[in-house]
Chains A and B, each alone.
Chain A
Amino acid sequence: MIWNETFECMTREEMHRCQSRRLVDVVERVYHNVPFYRKKMQEMGIGPEDIRGIEDLPKLPFTTKQDLRDNYPFGLFSAPTTEIVRLHASSGTTGKPIVVGYTRKDLATWSEVMARTLTCAGITRHDFLQVSYGYGLFTGGLGVHYGAEKVGCSVIPISGGNTRRQLQIMHDFGSTALACTPSYALYLAEAIRESGMPREEFKLRVGTFGAEPWTENMRREIEEKLRIKAIDIFGLSEVIGPGVSSECTCQNGLHVFEDHFVPEIIHPKTLEVVPEGEEGELVFTTVTKEGMPLLRYRTRDLSSLDYSPCRCGRTLVRMKKCTGRSDDMLIIRGVNLFPSQVESVLLEMKETSPHYLLIVDRVNNLDVLELQVEVEEGFFLDRISELQGLTRRIKHTLESALGISLTVKLVEPKTIARSEGKATRVIDKRKI
């Protein structure tokens, strides 16, 4: 099943024309409505008249996460706030979150691309869809929700957490489809096994999983343990939320809804567009958004693009499953974390040195984060209770600043390896 054959199965030429028309419009829009883009384009010596089609895309300036922070909260909005009907924000961290505004049309677009996403996974109006992504400022829950309603699923907006209730509802309501993070899917699989409820009493058959990177191995594990088909979906709040791209049941790359989000792959250092098929950093231009359109937004996710048609009949370009990033951002239980955020918190505490190491692992299918931090030489305390108090204080300060739980381990001074160049701040044992 294909939700919107017109757009999902057009020829490359048709897609080219569609993107060109929309790109011209969006450039016009941001040039006149967003001082940030006008200034950037003027500095580069280009105006809207220089953008005549999609082939002119590389002439446009990039947008980075930092640009979004610098223009916090609404500086990049391209519509007056009277037109903005919804706000979402990325995981609040030290500094400022990323804020995204949607007009009514943007919400319709979002529902459309999420309807395509769910249809890609084979989900229809006959399905009971349990939405176990968090509802709220995070785009996961509501994004899937609106798409599912558009498809006509019976939507169960249970949100994240409370695993026992998840199981009970999945069992009693007969949920046939599940939307959550892949790690939570595995966690639910374990919980079902431990509950002793026979798998035969569950009707679950398919899941759409995203918001964190996962491997083929993890997919196999989910499919075996939950006995369902596991579909990878991709999205980011800055672009729209979930619904940027999705695998179809062929599970061979994620179809990018490129009539809305035009992808490019660039070399993260030279910033040049790489030849087709080569790996590099994924960049999106949102050609239909009104609230906060972004030109050439650098996702920092590493991927590659395949323009060959898929067996499913879709002609939409496919991006390879993201497996890495071109910066040091970690995604832990769906929450974004930059090591520099940990550093700035530690720098404010006089008892610890800014030498630290973050160790990420996956235990029982859930991400766990450990911080090792050196005790400052001059600040060592003589009593165990003081050291334990210090540990608790570091843990508490970081947890409230980062929105993620972690364990803290004090280590001796000079035991965390120093290096000449870039220090190693992260050991990721998750093998993603």
Chain B
Amino acid sequence: MTTIRQLSIFLENKSGRLQEVLEALGNEKINITALTIADTSEYGILRLIVSDPENGYKLLKNRGFSVNLTDVLSLSVSHEAGSLAKVLKKFSEEKLSVEYMYAFSLGEKAVIVLRTDNRPKAFEIIERNNFTLISEDEIKNL
């Protein structure tokens, strides 16, 4: 069973901070596959799937950002109505909670990135239902 590494960055709500992160990654030719921001009134968490998480992490850390490498799951579903609901139905039937999730579509495929409160159980459900996990290499080459 495979997970992918996600960069999570703590950002205060100040103009220019997001741009600084993106510029730092851009200068090192680190490409971004997916990006999402969870925000509160005072700060946000920027979550990124990038081409080189290891170096991205080091780079941002050296720049003084509060950054974490987090293991998350990525699934591929077909890009058609109801396919994501089908996956989540299986999760909820087994009382598995999704802590956060984001998704994007690419041609005929759609990609989900998520973090659950119980990873072994998630793997079990995924395996039993033949859902398609995506590896780090695969997501890089999308």
Contact = CB atoms under 8 A, between A and B. Distances in A.
Interface of A: 375-377, 380-385, 387-388, 409-415
10 contacts: A375-B10, A382-B8, A383-B45, A383-B99, A387-B10, A410-B10, A411-B12, A412-B10, A412-B11, A413-B65
Contacts of B40: 384, 387-388
Contacts of B64: 377, 412-414
Contact of B45 (A382, A409, A411): A382
Nearest to B42: A409
A165 to B, nearest CB: 34
Contacts of B8: 380, 382
Contacts of B131: none
Contacts of B45: 382-384, 387
Contacts, number: 50
Contacts of A380: 8, 10, 66-68
Closest 7 CB pairs of A and B: A380-B66, A414-B64, A382-B8, A382-B70, A375-B66, A380-B10, A413-B66
B66 A382 contact: no
Contacts of A384: 38, 40, 45
Contacts of A411: 12, 43
Given A384-B38, A384-B40, A412-B10, A377 B70 contact: no
Contact of B12 (A381, A388, A412): A412
A384 B40 CA distance: 8
Interface in B68-87: 68, 70
B100 interface: yes
B90 interface: no
Contacts of A415: 12
B65 A382 contact: no
A381 B67 CA distance: 9
B61 interface: yes
A376 B65 CA distance: 10
A385 B97 CA distance: 14
A385 B67 CA distance: 17
Interface string B45-74: 101000000000000010011111010000
A95 to B, nearest CB: 31
Given A382-B68, A384-B38, A409-B42, A377 B99 contact: no
A138 B95 CA distance: 53
A380 B61 CA distance: 11
Contacts of B67: 377, 380
B53 to A, nearest CB: 13
Contacts of B42: 409-410
Of A376, A383, A409, A415, most buried by chain B (CB within 10 Å of CB) is: A383
Contacts of A413: 64-66
A334 to B, nearest CB: 28
A381 B99 CA distance: 13
A382 to B, nearest CB: 4
